Structure 1
Amino acid sequence: MSRGFKHIPILDWKIYQEGQKPAFLEQLRDALIFAGFLYLQHPPIEAGLIERVKEYLPKLFALPAETKHKLDMVNSPHFLGYSSLGSELTKGKVDQREQFDFGTPYDCIWKEGDPEYRKLWGQSQWPSEEDLPGFKDTLTRYLSQVQDLSEIFTHLVAEALGLGPNGLDIFFDHPMSSMQHRSKVVKYPPVGDEQQGVGPHFDSGFLTLLLQASSHRGLQAQNVDGDWIDVPPLDDTLVVNIGKGLEFVTQRVALATTHRVLNPPLGSTDRYSVPYFQIIKQDIKLADSVIDFSPEILALRDKRGDPVSDSVNYSEYGTEESGHVSLIGRIRSHPDVARRHYPTLYKVYFPGESQ
């Protein structure tokens, strides 16, 4: 008998807004435990802002190659900037996507003697106003509103799991806006046999909120039986999924679900997406902060069972500070950046490579 979900649950934000919070929390609890993925319908984002973001995406990637390469991620110790097609790895295999990584506003505070992971938070590289007028303001405004939503949603996650609204506050600096959260703007081009837009993986941190910015299918989530389930774009939704950090501290109650993206087929148009990654504070060791749950919640987790997974990333949460775990993930995905800015760690994770 199958234990795995066959479709992605849809939670309507209007249910919460219209005073039906208990019903919303019950649906959220089941989605967290049994799927680890959900659609959030009617998210509280400014009317028209999502459409303005979508309009910018083809323009961003249509910038001249020399303009984009001025923003290359290899310039940034924060792993923020432009990555050309085929320059990122997942499980050692090349991802067929082109992307920009941006962060919420933050000035790096790292100084000599600090842990290297403090370098991860810092200023983004943006196209100039001359090259793409209004883009920085539009995306920054969008990320600010998604950040606000993620904070509210984290309190609801805590309530849904029986922890009370502040049950996850220990994992964040306060206010949450004093931290840096991250985003990608991604283009998946049509390809032939090479279908890995991004390979099977987990996200780090606690929550990812994803805007599927074009009509293409491609995103898939892996259920506990190991089956790949399509997550097609739905109008007026964000996709929310659980990160490996939240799974770890909840004793696998909230499920971090392996997911991947397949490129559009040849003859199609480009697929665009904008994921937002909610980051947890850098200096916390999650193994010291695992949460206890009621027998009723643990019984639901046990009913679901342990998933089959094609991904193993972020296993270091049991031994390392959160910031170091994130840095390891970045180094494995972007060895060119690691070679320039983190040469000691580069040698650890790519011992056979020459400098």
Structure 2
Amino acid sequence: MSTANFQSIPTLDYSLATSDPESKSKFISQLRSVLINVGFLYLSNTPVDKDLITKVKRDYIPRLFDLPQVEKDQIKMANSPHFLGYSRMGMELTKGEVDWREQFDFGTGCERERSLKEGEPDYWNVYGPSQYPREEQLPGFRVLFEAYLAQLSALASDFLRLVSEALGLPPDTLDQFYKTDDRMHLSKIVKYPVQRESRQGVGAHYDGAMLTFLLQASEEHRGLQAQNLHGEWIDVPPKPDTFVINFGRSLEFVTQGVVRATSHRVLAPPLDSTTPRYSVPFFYSGMDLEVRVDESVLKSECLNI
């Protein structure tokens, strides 16, 4: 298994975690090493419907970005108090440089506007409905993508319990950060075009969520890179029938640094490419907004590492 100065990203077989106790024990041991030393992994043999994944990648993502600009702008993020919707190319910066990507942000679990009750803090405004293209613009897309997100949510919930076990804790320990039903996880659909101005698709950063599940939707394109402790950038190329998982700052924080969040970036396709790079990150991020630091259920003496 890799060390903190890893040179490649390990692959874990999810089916081991759902079979006999001996196989699960092997999976838990592998996951523990990744949590502490790497922060990135490929996950294979998940229960997410492969036909659903294929339809998202091939039938809808290119058509989503090929919608007329005026129709994409109708659901731009600026229209949403919940920071959900479409963003044009070059609308975000990382470390002062433009991220050359076009994207749609979606949330899960909030079908309608949530009116703030008297006395509620403004941060509850982050929960609200997503903006989708109208059905006549992209027939079937919303139903299909919401089904995909539901399966990712279930997988992420089960995987988080395995993370607890890998830390030597009861399986439901990390569930305690997700107590309320009123929560929302986030996803993006991202296009990185062939870029002349810069190779920065998105600059070096850490994710904020507990877990990120990434579907690399363009198997012909590399671009994702993770940084080891020597500062070297390690390629995380697309690998068929896998998700890339990385651990975010929230998990690093609640484990008091036992789990490491790993810096990563995406390079835009090189000039000799003929197609853009597409990716679909899912952020298991819907933690209870009322959780307080002094309520942390993970004290350092409880981590059996």
CA contact (8 A) 1:162 1:294 kept: no
**Displacement, 1:14?**
1.6
State the partner residue of 1:204.
Answer: 208
- CA deviation digits over 1:193-226, x for unaligned, max 9? 4111111111112001110001210001111221
State the partner residue of 1:140.
Answer: 146
State the partner residue of 1:302.
Answer: none
Separation in 2 of the partners of 1:183 and 1:222?
Answer: 23
**Displacement, 1:173?**
2.3
Inter-CA distance 233–192: structure 2 relative to 1 (3 Å threshold)? same
What is the identity, as a one-letter code, of the residue corresponding to 1:207?
Answer: L
Q: Give the gaps of 5 or more residues in structure 2.
A: none
Separation in 2 of the partners of 1:57 and 1:297?
Answer: 43
Separation in 2 of the partners of 1:290 and 1:226?
Answer: 33
Larger deviation: 154-163 or 278-287?
Answer: 278-287
- CA deviation digits over 1:21-80, x for unaligned, max 9? 100100111111101111001111023000000021000000000000001100001000
Inter-CA distance 170–25: structure 2 relative to 1 (3 Å threshold)? same
State the partner residue of 2:6.
Answer: 5
| Aligned residue runs from structure 1 range 251-330, under 5 A | 251-268=256-273, 269-279=275-285, 280-286=287-293, 288-289=295-296, 291-293=298-300, 297-298=304-305
Larger deviation: 16-25 or 112-121?
Answer: 112-121
CA contact (8 A) 1:245 1:286 kept: no
Q: Give the gaps of 5 or more residues in structure 1.
A: 299-355
Aligned sequence identity (%): 52
What is the identity, as a one-letter code, of the residue corresponding to 1:114?
Answer: E
What is the identity, as a one-letter code, of the residue corresponding to 1:258?
Answer: S
State the partner residue of 1:247.
Answer: 252
- CA deviation digits over 1:239-258, x for unaligned, max 9? 11101011011011111111
What is the identity, as a one-letter code, of the residue corresponding to 1:8?
Answer: I
What is the identity, as a one-letter code, of the residue corresponding to 1:230?
Answer: D
Inter-CA distance 277–211: structure 2 relative to 1 (3 Å threshold)? same
Separation in 2 of the partners of 1:220 and 1:162?
Answer: 30
CA contact (8 A) 2:180 2:288 kept: no
- CA deviation digits over 1:262-302, x for unaligned, max 9? 0001231100000001111112133541623469855xxxx
Q: CA RMSD in A?
A: 1.7
CA contact (8 A) 1:218 1:231 kept: yes
TM-score (norm 1): 0.80
Runs of 4+ in 1 over 4 A off after TM superposition: 293-298
CA contact (8 A) 1:33 1:255 kept: yes
- Residue 96 (structure 2) pairs with residue 92 (structure 1): yes
Separation in 1 of the partners of 2:152 and 2:93?
Answer: 27
State the partner residue of 1:110.
Answer: 116
In terms of fraction of residues, the more helix-rich structure is: 1
Inter-CA distance 5–109: structure 2 relative to 1 (3 Å threshold)? farther
| Aligned residue runs from structure 1 range 41-60, under 5 A | 41-55=44-58, 56-60=60-64
How many pairs align?
A: 295
Separation in 2 of the partners of 1:287 and 1:243?
Answer: 20
- CA deviation digits over 1:116-165, x for unaligned, max 9? 21111100000011000000011100000000000000000000100110
CA contact (8 A) 2:169 2:303 kept: no
SS at match of 2:165: helix
